């Protein structure tokens, strides 16, 4: 049996690699969000809110874009400029908004 030509084997591979390179940022190949931080200084309620914020982020935010490391923004930018727009787009209720915002602020590396 004769082997298939070289291009028949490698064309699909090169096409797939090219397609991945052309994906816009935020199409699932981004930074993996860290889990909610834990600390003995946190109350059980605060810890639960951070875990909930992480879960909501994964369920809502991550369906539209890859995780954007919040360390690139000041806490003020997150609170006043970026997060209000994103929370409105994802239609989060006030408690969910606060949980996600608390999570993002907690995982920031200043």
Is the entire prediction scored with pTM above 0.85?
no
CB 67, CB 31: distance < 8 Å? yes
| pLDDT (0 to 100) of residue 6 | 54
Confidence of residue 64 (pLDDT cuts 50, 70, 90): confident
Task: Please list, in sequence order, all residues whose beta carbon lies within 8 angstroms of the beta carbon of residue 39, skipping any fewer than 6 positions away.
Answer: 47
Task: Please list, in sequence order, all residues whose beta carbon lies within 8 angstroms of the beta carbon of residue 73, skipping any fewer than 6 positions away.
Answer: 82, 108
| pLDDT (0 to 100) of residue 11 | 54
| pLDDT (0 to 100) of residue 25 | 42
Task: Tell me the average pLDDT across 13-42.
Answer: 58
């Amino acid at each position: 049996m004769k082997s298939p030509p070289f291009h028949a084997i490698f064309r699909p591979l090169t096409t797939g690699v090219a397609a991945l390179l052309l994906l816009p940022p935020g199409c699932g190949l981004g930074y993996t969000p860290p889990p909610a931080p834990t600390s003995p200084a946190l109350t059980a309620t605060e810890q639960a809110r951070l875990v909930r914020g992480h879960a909501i982020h994964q369920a809502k935010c991550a369906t539209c874009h890859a995780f954007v490391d919040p360390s690139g923004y000041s806490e003020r930018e997150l609170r006043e400029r970026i997060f209000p727009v994103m929370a409105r787009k994802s239609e989060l209720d006030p408690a969910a908004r606060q949980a996600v915002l608390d999570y993002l602020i907690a995982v920031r590396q200043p």
